[in-house]
A = this chain, B = another copy of it.
Amino acid sequence: MRPIEIYDTTLRDGTQGEGISFSLQDKLNIAKRLGEMGIQFIEGGYPLSNEKDTAFFQEVRKLDLGDAKVCAFGMTRRRSMKAADDPGMKALLAAETPVCTMVGKSWDFQATEVLGATLDENLAMIGESVAFLKQQRDVIFDAEHFFDGWKANPDYAMKTLDAAVQGGAGWVVLCDTNGGTLPEEVAMAVAKVKELFKDRSVVVGIHCHNDSELAVANSLAAVDAGADQVQGTINGIGERCGNVDLISVIANLAIKKKGYQVLGGRPLTQLTELSRFVYETANLQWRNGQPFVGQSAFAHKGGMHVHAINKAASTYEHIDPAVVGNERRILVSELSGRSNIIALTSKDNLQDDKELMNRILAEVVRLENQGYQFESAGASFDLLVKRLAGTFTAHFETIKYRIVAGDRDAQHADGFAEAIVKLQVGEEMWFDAAEGHGPVNALDAALRKALQGTYPELAEMRLLDFKVRVVDSSAGTAAHIRVNIESGDSNDSWGTIGVSENIIEASWKALVDAFEYKLHKSDSGA
């Protein structure tokens, strides 16, 4: 088993991604998680670029990161300056990390056009900068644009690596900075570099970007060709199309490829949690379709498949979801069959009641023909099952509602909306009105007003998301409209649905289900 080093740059290259920015505390929290996962190298930032990164390097020393080494990132010294005098070099040392990662130009075109240096000057900048840092630190050399440089001027690209190793770099990392390289090109170049250093103890690494949707394949191809370190980010966050997703790299190396050891052979059961933790910290939506860890990665739709899965999971899953801490989900869908329903109701042990199963299936089919889709409305489905099973108890009866809305006036630049609701709660009749930003918001406010006296637990319920979809769009404004509402409280979230030709009626149905589900939850002490 050849051990492969995992080098995470979520905190540095990852923050180049559009809309990504971490607070100091965010960065410390993520570093802690990365250490717990057994990731060997954590690139914390670019000391010269901002104070937050400087502060990070001070604070991170106080954390227990296990075997992980923190790396400070910087560039070669400036053309017209001694390494010892260069502010960037000084900042790298001031970060007091065990490792410094230094990026330099490997593409002749870049050295001359971007740095304005001669080819020899660029080699001297690399060699002297590494040598200066090496006096006090281990040094990783990131060869920027290595593959473009290797295509344009292979001899010179190799010379830049050689200069770094002569200077004392223990690692040379080949960067596909533009993400435009193909796996076969990566394999060939890595093999040549391995050949160059076959008599010297240098670790060859790979750093890929996903601009051609080949970052994972390129990283694996590099490892097969002899690379012993893979650099990337959690969830593949990063500039443009992102860096390679370390989640997929780790899972493929540990589970699918043969002969490699990652994370010291630790289990990967924390992988899904790590992915979601980074999304939450970055305040990004999870990517449902993300390989291995996405919410849909093991979600099954369509009766034929689900039927097969109940016979043999491996038939439709490439790995056991539990291995990466993920789980299987069965979706009720337009293509659903009895097996979906049985799987979904199994937790209530209703599946043996054949007659009930038939009634549920018939009702789901009837509703799906109207445009309902329960795959993102599990709460409405649960209420449907309760109703058909006779275990549903209404917490309130809706007598009627009214909406009055109109265009902008003195108080309402976005137009006004007012709702009136009449509800029966137990013996009492409630008649309440509320204003809102729009009709749905107004109905939500009026419902709360009418119910909160009886059910104070509704105070902690919030509406998290609101989706509208035209089911039969060809019918224009007379089409059926599907409204999905995602609601949540302190420890849970649930989806409800309503369908109608009338968007207000559809929203009302979804709202009423959302409130009923919350009240059933509290009954069962959830």
Question: Which residues of chain A have a CB within 8 Å of any CB of chain B?
Answer: 16-19, 21, 23-26, 49-50, 75, 107, 109-110, 113-114, 145, 177-180, 182-184, 210-214, 216-217, 220-221, 224, 236, 239-242, 245, 248, 251-252, 256-257, 283, 288-292, 294, 296-302, 304-305, 307-308, 311-312, 315-319, 331, 334-335, 373, 375-376, 398, 400-408, 414-417, 436-441, 444, 462-474, 476-479, 481, 485, 500-505, 507-508
Contact = CB atoms under 8 A, between A and B. Distances in A.
A419 to B, nearest CB: 10
Given A211-B297, A240-B299, 7 more contacts: A21-B373, A109-B312, A113-B315, A179-B291, A179-B318, A213-B248, A439-B503
A23 B473 contact: yes
B331 A18 contact: yes
Contact of A476 (B17, B224, B404, B465): B465
A248 B216 CA distance: 14
Copies of this protein, total = 2
A177 B315 CA distance: 9
A484 B201 CA distance: 51
A315 B441 contact: no
B334 A23 contact: no
A110 B21 CA distance: 48
Given A301-B239, A438-B504, A502-B417, A376 B19 contact: yes
Given A315-B114, A405-B402, A289 B466 contact: no
Given A405-B402, A462-B476, A479-B466, A375 B18 contact: yes
A185 B372 CA distance: 41
Contact of A245 (B18, B177, B213, B294): B213
Contact of A335 (B16, B210, B236): B16
Contacts of A180: 256, 318-319
Contacts of A211: 291-292, 297, 318
B241 A297 contact: yes
Given A375-B18, A408-B505, A481-B438, A291 B476 contact: no
Nearest to A405: B403
A248 B477 CA distance: 36
Contacts of A49: 335
B178 A318 contact: yes
B283 A469 contact: yes
Contact of A18 (B299, B470, B476): B299
25 contacts: A17-B289, A18-B375, A21-B471, A49-B335, A50-B335, A114-B312, A114-B315, A180-B256, A180-B319, A182-B256, A182-B257, A183-B221, A211-B291, A211-B297, A214-B216, A214-B252, A283-B470, A398-B407, A401-B406, A414-B502, A415-B500, A415-B505, A438-B481, A439-B439, A462-B476
A525 to B, nearest CB: 25
A296 B417 CA distance: 37
B405 A177 contact: no
A407 to B, nearest CB: 5
A299 B241 CA distance: 9
A44 to B, nearest CB: 15
A316 B178 contact: yes
